[in-house]
Amino acid sequence: MSTTPDYAKQLDAAVVAVNAAGAKIREYFAGSFGIEIKADNSPVTEADIEAEKIIRSTLLEVFPDYGFYGEETGKSESSNGMVWLVDPIDGTKSFVRRSPFFSTQIALMSPDGLVVGVSDAPCLPRERLGNIDSVSETERVIAVAAGGCRRNTKIVTTSKTENLSDAYLSSGNLKSLAGDPAAWSRYATLVSSVARVRGYGDFYHYHQLVSGQADLVIESDVNILDIAALVVAVREAGGVFTDLQGYDITLETTSVLAAATPALHAEALAVLGSAGFSA
């Protein structure tokens, strides 16, 4: 008999929250919005702030004892070790440029780890994965611990790729990696070892990874709010998700090595080693 807790109610709440936030984001995307520059020199818009307020109020109304860690509105404490991790618009720079390749990320972290993940692109029509119809819901991945991963309307799994020579690699932000000659050299070795290299970036290459369209994802400049929901998705789809040193994901994680299979992850990690990478 399984002893894994049932997080169906939490997943339902996250979906309600992402739907409400998405409606507000689409309003701003189609109209105008104010932009400010934060202390870290990144932009924040009215849409970011309003969407996070909607998500916070929606989730905490149902789970008032849970903590909340949001990109724009900060942290509130938990009385039971359960914390929502939220980035209302991951990819604000894309949003500002009117590119639909940004997403809303909602995850739930329990004392045992990440257990719920919702990754939604509120302005990008969903990929139909072979089904051509007139439906235009947004591109979305949802996952829950011990409950599998779903991309749009289908349950999905990662590919069975085990060798770098057969792997499709997608890389995101690599700025800090490129700044270290030893690390960059190891990455170049990896690039020359795989079958194909693309850079879909942000949420989208993780959506591809969970559905077998990509096999390996590497990023060197992330924070936990960017990836928490995607960690749940990749693992529930059968993949492996660590940082670039092979360590487990924590609130302090800043890099990603995600792979379709344990064998592929191990081979990529062996090539990358630990030179120049931070945990």
| Calpha distance 253→224 (Å, rounded) | 6
Distance of CA 249 to the CA centre of its chain: 12
What pLDDT, on a 0 to 100 scale, did the predictor assign at position 125? 86
Residue of 268, 254, 12, 30 whose CA lies nearest to 164: 268
- Segment 227-231 shows an average pLDDT of 98
| Calpha distance 184→174 (Å, rounded) | 9
What pLDDT, on a 0 to 100 scale, did the predictor assign at position 89? 97
Strands 43-45 and 216-219: unpaired
pLDDT band at 14 (very low <50, low <70, confident <90, very high): very high
Q: With 50 as the cut, is the pLDDT of residue 136 above it?
A: yes
What pLDDT, on a 0 to 100 scale, did the predictor assign at position 256? 96
* Total-model pTM: 0.93
What tens digit of pLDDT does each residue of 247-271 get? Answer: 999 999 999 999 999 999 999 999 9
> Mean pLDDT, the chain, as a whole number?
92
What pLDDT, on a 0 to 100 scale, did the predictor assign at position 130? 59
Domains of the chain in sequence order: 8-155 (3.30.540.10), 164-272 (3.40.190.80)
Tell which wins on pLDDT, 44 or 134. 44
Q: With 50 as the cut, is the pLDDT of residue 203 above it?
A: yes
Tell which wins on pLDDT, 135 or 238. 238
pLDDT band at 127 (very low <50, low <70, confident <90, very high): confident
What pLDDT, on a 0 to 100 scale, did the predictor assign at position 98? 94
pLDDT band at 100 (very low <50, low <70, confident <90, very high): very high
Tokens of 128: 């139909």
What pLDDT, on a 0 to 100 scale, did the predictor assign at position 134? 46
What pLDDT, on a 0 to 100 scale, did the predictor assign at position 275? 46
- Segment 19-23 shows an average pLDDT of 97
- Segment 148-164 shows an average pLDDT of 96
Backbone angles phi, psi at 15, to 5 degrees: -65, -40
- Segment 194-206 shows an average pLDDT of 93
Q: With 50 as the cut, is the pLDDT of residue 37 above it?
A: yes
- Segment 215-241 shows an average pLDDT of 97
